[in-house]
Amino acid sequence: MDHRTAADVLTRLAFATEVLEGSTHESKAWANAARVIRQLPGDLRAMMESGQLAEVRGIGSSSLRVIREVLEGREPEELRALEARVPDGLFAINRIKGLGPAKIRKLWQGLGVTTIGELEHACRENRLVLLDGFGKKTQANVLEQIEQMHRADRVLLRSRASALVLPLLASLRMRGVRAEALGDFRRGMELVDGLAIVVAGDDAVIDETLGAHGVEDGHIDGTTIDVKRTDAARFGAIAVLGTTSPEHLELLRARASERGLELRDDGLYSKGALVACEDEDALYRALELVTTDPERRDPGVPLVGIGKARPRLVELRDLRGALHNHTTESDGAGTLEEMRAAASTMGLEYLGISDHSQSADYARGLTPDRLRAQIATIERARREPGCALLSGVESDILADGKLDYEDAILASIDVVIASVHRRFGLDRDATTQRMVAAAKNPFTDVIGHPTGRLLLGRPANDLDMGAMLDAAAESGCAVELNASPHRLDLHDRHCAMAKERGVPVSIAADAHAPGELLQLEHGIAIARRGGLTPDDVLNCRPLDALRDWLRARRQRAGLAS
């Protein structure tokens, strides 16, 4: 144990030194000492006390001092000083094979990557290949290792949960089994803590289908999954019971009791007899209620009695277009033509192209000349068949809240999305002032991923969301619900706050490849949790109505006639 502990400390010293200063004599000396200690036979303490360790080749005076402090149970001063200068997340990134301190130094300095979550995001946005020494193979390998790390954890991103649950449900249903997702996934949560489904049908068919999808001993591909088996008469009740918050369940049980019924863990009963509920609607009808959507079975959402109207929540089919998408002009993996073809295949009426702005050098941000050239390309492409194209840009919000181009350039663009990509970690006042200034900028049409969070990777910025949304309401701009499963930013409660203020929400794929337009479905889940209807969502408007909205904004700001 002494050998391993001392070697681990020396390895951390070598890593921190090289990340901070590059490959130096000092970093190599720490690394060499770690190798020597790992391979050294004998009692390390005895060798230290006898002076024998000082004579071992590769153990210099600095290494000897560090080893002595480790053996005495003290944290070496050298390590404490170096670790104070190195983000903790870089040590976690060092677990990924094929990187090492030199490449991690490049990731940190070149892309600002400090956590595994930020590294995953950079891979998915095709940014590693922009660095010297990183190719597509390295990027793919890094991403695969990160996904393996996630599989070892219980909490999943929605995209990962979807990839496991939806094909399984489809297979079960194709074979005549009633099947539905339960829990966090069905409730539209951005993070899914364990998977669960309910099934009713032939047990042999269920077993065979579960086996074909790798479900074994309550796990699927390393993730826990609870398969609840029931019969047709209980299916609806079990589906509701497994897809509700404790507070909503308490309301349902109180409602049942008021009507002489009992909602137990295995179904709805009347005087001891089972009340058949073959679907969720049947349970709510028995309680004389309008069905509460799964995403809204949360604290603070009231029950609605039969005969009263409940607003229809937004659905994927309501979206008419997508405004925030990237191409190979910046850090996307799809050309303009490929992105447009994917949007047309999805049946979208319009597609916004919003590559990164000039300050985003880490993402090949567009200089003014390159942006003008792209606008001209979009103008020419509009003459070809396909969904309508809108010129746009994802402009960095600079530290003072200003946008990344001169007004004349911004005025030539159809849709300006303003987002923060750098200078995270400002205090609450500075962050709020920055975002309020961007929201009040007359050229800002949409505030992109407002909190800056990366799920499982980076916390949200400390922002007074109410103040920013008040500024958006005053200026008339929209806010984005970024549907990337790594962001899902806005939070559902922020969606509700935007709705209260009349601020339109743009559900954005933030697609960096043609297939990523499908990410819109993750945004729909969060929008529904926030109670958004089609009227609340900017890109549920048809193209003409969207253009009218954009034109009215510019006229309101005195920027258009």
pLDDT tens track for 271-284: 999 999 999 999 99
Q: How far apart are CA 459 and CA 425, in angstroms?
A: 9
| Boundary residue ending a domain (252, 280, 305) | 305
Band of pLDDT at residue 536, cut at 50, 70 and 90: very high
61 and 208 in a common domain = no
29 and 111 in a common domain = yes
Residue 561 lies in a domain: no
Residue 379 lies in a domain: yes
Q: What is the average pLDDT value for the chain, to the nearest integer?
A: 92
Which run of H or E residues covers position 473?
Answer: helix 465-475
Residue 311 lies in a domain: no
Q: How far apart are CA 540 and CA 152, in angstroms?
A: 38
Domain of 159: which CATH number?
3.30.460.10
Find tokens 């539905």 and name the residue: 180
90 and 17 in a common domain = yes
Q: Are strands 388-396 and 350-353 parallel, antiparallel or unpaired?
A: parallel
Q: How far apart are CA 215 and CA 219, in angstroms?
A: 6
465 and 548 in a common domain = yes
Count other Cβ atoms within 10 Å, centred on residue 84: 8
Residue 257 lies in a domain: yes
Q: How far apart are CA 382 and CA 547, in angstroms?
A: 15
215 and 161 in a common domain = yes
Provide the residue range defining the domain that includes 94.
2-151
Residue 124 lies in a domain: yes
* Report field, pTM of the whole predicted structure over 0.75: yes
529 and 423 in a common domain = yes
| Boundary residue ending a domain (105, 125, 151) | 151
Residue 310 lies in a domain: no
Find tokens 């007359």 and name the residue: 442
Number of domains in the chain: 3
The DSSP symbol for 175 reads T
Token pair of 85 as six digits:
């200068």
376 and 262 in a common domain = no
Q: How far apart are CA 498 and CA 32, in angstroms?
A: 57
518 and 505 in a common domain = yes
- Angle, helix 158-174 to helix 520-529, in steps of 10 degrees: 100
Band of pLDDT at residue 418, cut at 50, 70 and 90: very high
- Confidence at residue 64, expressed as pLDDT on a 0 to 100 scale: 85
Residue 384 lies in a domain: yes
Q: How far apart are CA 146 and CA 174, in angstroms?
A: 33
Q: What is the mean pLDDT of residues 178-206?
A: 97
Count other Cβ atoms within 10 Å, centred on residue 162: 19
Domain of 513: which CATH number?
3.20.20.140
Instruction: Provide the Cα torsion 155, 160, 162, 163; round to 10°.
Output: -140
Q: How far apart are CA 328 and CA 339, in angstroms?
A: 10
Please say whether the beta carbons of 268 and 275 come within 8 A.
yes
Give the residue with greater pLDDT, 444 vs 37.
Answer: 444
- Confidence at residue 560, expressed as pLDDT on a 0 to 100 scale: 62
Q: DSSP states of 346-382 as a string?
A: TT-SEEEE--BBTT-GGGTPBPHHHHHHHHHHHHHHT
Band of pLDDT at residue 495, cut at 50, 70 and 90: very high
Band of pLDDT at residue 48, cut at 50, 70 and 90: confident
Q: Are strands 215-216 and 219-220 parallel, antiparallel or unpaired?
A: antiparallel
| Boundary residue ending a domain (245, 274, 305) | 305
Find tokens 């790798």 and name the residue: 214
Band of pLDDT at residue 49, cut at 50, 70 and 90: confident
223 and 180 in a common domain = yes
Residue 447 lies in a domain: yes
Q: What is the phi/psi pair of residue 432, to 5°? A: -65, -45
Token pair of 458 as six digits:
């980076």
529 and 394 in a common domain = yes
391 and 275 in a common domain = no
Q: How far apart are CA 393 and CA 355, in angstroms?
A: 5
- Confidence at residue 69, expressed as pLDDT on a 0 to 100 scale: 86
CA diameter of the chain: 89
Contacts for 301 with CB less than 8 Å, ≥ 6 apart: 248, 292, 531
- pLDDT digits 0-9 by tens, 426-459: 899 999 999 999 999 999 999 999 999 999 888 8
Strands laid side by side in the 223-229 sheet = 178-181, 195-200, 223-229, 219-220, 215-216
Q: Which of 502, 501, 499, 504 is nearest to 478 (CA)?
A: 504
Q: How far apart are CA 44 and CA 50, in angstroms?
A: 10
What is the number of alpha carbons within 13 Å of residue 258 lying toward its C-beta?
A: 10
**Bridge partners, 274 (sequence order):** 269
Torsion 111-113-119-121 (CA) sign:
negative
Find tokens 């390309």 and name the residue: 377
548 and 522 in a common domain = yes
Q: What is the mean pLDDT of residues 114-136?
A: 89
